[in-house]
Structure 1
């Protein structure tokens, strides 16, 4: 009986898990099959809800910078140039409900949630004295995570572990006559809880490498100097001594990483030079869909 239940559990996981390639490889050749248990729609909806809650909280606390703030305008101009380039990697990104906001915070951090929800903190711009080219590298890197659906991939992995754990608890319940049923809720968990768990986990080296390469190409296609990727990570590495800033806690920098970026700069440099010679089109929103406090 136990073997039958375990076989059924494994079969469920195998049937539900899809092997997909979320993006094309682009000039940098970032291609890899990914294992997905959750759908894009599930993850995008959770991300949109989480982002909306973040915007509402920041707005209520007076930390969300207004649309006319110079830093907001600066970041959105850069987003306005990068977002149209995403169709090179996945055409459906043109239909995403992109949002771009800036929160007043000393943290050295920025992110792009699934579905195109971008947030920059003033700390990373001001404390590192970032140039537009360097902001574009950070934004490209974070957009790349969303394009490649790294969040969905990590959530699928954690969800798979939770399902497997719950299945194990069910087998234990049968074997022990229900003695440990109280622990099943801990094993199962909920999809919404996975958002927090997933975003608190460090990105894998594979995810970071893909985001570096795709981000480098996005920025180059948007007309931002690829060499800024090197200066950006050098600034990052110089922050905080041995521990590094919060941004680097899930986005590790190293001599190897910088060397990899330097090696790819010549590959995307023709894209940068071509972009400088033509105007960019826009898909990015001029204003955010901010939640107004009452």
Structure 2
């Protein structure tokens, strides 16, 4: 194998490695996911939050102009904000900086089945995800928990830091190839492809982590973690043409369900505690659509 290919593999391994530090606030209960990646430190603290605030303001302004922004007194907006406000108090143990965030939750009229949370707590829900999936409050909480987990774990800064490392690695591969007499364009392309594959895998790691952290937050706020299983079963019913998992930034639905099931023993006691129940007293989670069976625990 040529030297620059080996260097490309090194770039890929650097990009896809977790590089975690100690968890910010260790817990005696709930999920354990380790620390946040040091790669986020390649981006100045707060920089992405400032950018996100400006971008979010533009999105909201454009939605207002297009009459696509849900008014404050609209029932679905009130519903989303009520659920988010129950989750937010449980974010501090995941990221102490979140106490200074100016949280916002807005509903945008769109058929897109999507929602997101920008760095700094800027949340947007598309009406399409509510209408298409017929989300219950528990399922909305799972979605919001997942999205705010991305912000809490600073995945945006992490990805930016990884991208900077990857770009540096590609440049290094080209320089190394040139010194060895190889075609620098071929070397750069090979290293870039390997880095891209590494970034895809890394993005899937982020999604899995957000799923797990979101479950923990939702459960502490009194929302049923089993709703996450039903959520992805619903997604599977409408998403029949997803790309292979290894080519996607999101894990396959079945894998997400398996991961949620794996962590139920950690989060179901939190949910039961929030309601003053024993875990063995919990009734099954009953979906609101046909074709999906109730989810029991244990």
Taking structure 2 as the reference length, the TM-score comes to 0.70
Which sits farther off after the overlay, 163-172 or 130-139? Answer: 163-172
Alignment match, 1:260? 259
Q: CA deviation at 1:169?
A: 8.8
The answer as to 2:121 corresponding to 1:122 is: no
Tell me the distance in 1 between the aligned counterparts of 2:52 and 2:201. Answer: 18
Assess if the C-alpha contact under 8 Å between 2:21 and 2:34 holds in 1: no
Assess if the C-alpha contact under 8 Å between 1:203 and 1:251 holds in 2: no
Alignment match, 2:92? 87
Matches within 5 A, 1:149-228: 149-162=154-167, 204-228=203-227
The answer as to 2:30 corresponding to 1:31 is: no
Give the match's secondary structure for 1:87: coil
Alignment match, 2:236? 237
Matches within 5 A, 1:17-28: 20=21, 23-24=24-25, 26=27, 27-28=30-31
Assess if the C-alpha contact under 8 Å between 1:133 and 1:228 holds in 2: yes
- CA-based RMSD of the aligned residues comes to 3.1
Tell me the distance in 2 between the aligned counterparts of 1:90 and 1:105. Answer: 31
Which sits farther off after the overlay, 262-271 or 111-120? Answer: 262-271
Q: CA deviation at 1:250?
A: 4.6
Structure 1 residues 167 and 43: CA distance shift in structure 2, 3 A: farther
Tell me the distance in 1 between the aligned counterparts of 2:74 and 2:106. Answer: 11
Tell me the distance in 2 between the aligned counterparts of 1:203 and 1:128. Answer: 27
Quick one: higher RCO (CA 8 Å, sep 6+), 1 or 2? 1
Deviation by residue 1:94-145 (Cα, 9 ceiling, x = unmatched): 2211111110000000001111110000000111000000000010011111
Structure 1 residues 166 and 260: CA distance shift in structure 2, 3 A: closer
Structure 1 residues 171 and 202: CA distance shift in structure 2, 3 A: closer
Give the match's secondary structure for 1:204: helix
Give the match's secondary structure for 2:120: coil
Assess if the C-alpha contact under 8 Å between 1:23 and 1:147 holds in 2: no
Could you list the runs of 5+ residues in structure 1 that have no partner in the other structure? 1-17, 173-200, 279-294
Structure 1 residues 146 and 100: CA distance shift in structure 2, 3 A: same
Structure 1 residues 22 and 263: CA distance shift in structure 2, 3 A: closer
Alignment match, 1:109? 114
Alignment match, 1:53? 58
Q: CA deviation at 1:164?
A: 5.6
Tell me the distance in 2 between the aligned counterparts of 1:75 and 1:220. Answer: 17
Alignment match, 1:97? 102
Between the two proteins, the alignment pairs up a number of residues equal to 236
Give the match's secondary structure for 2:46: helix
Assess if the C-alpha contact under 8 Å between 2:204 and 2:249 holds in 1: no
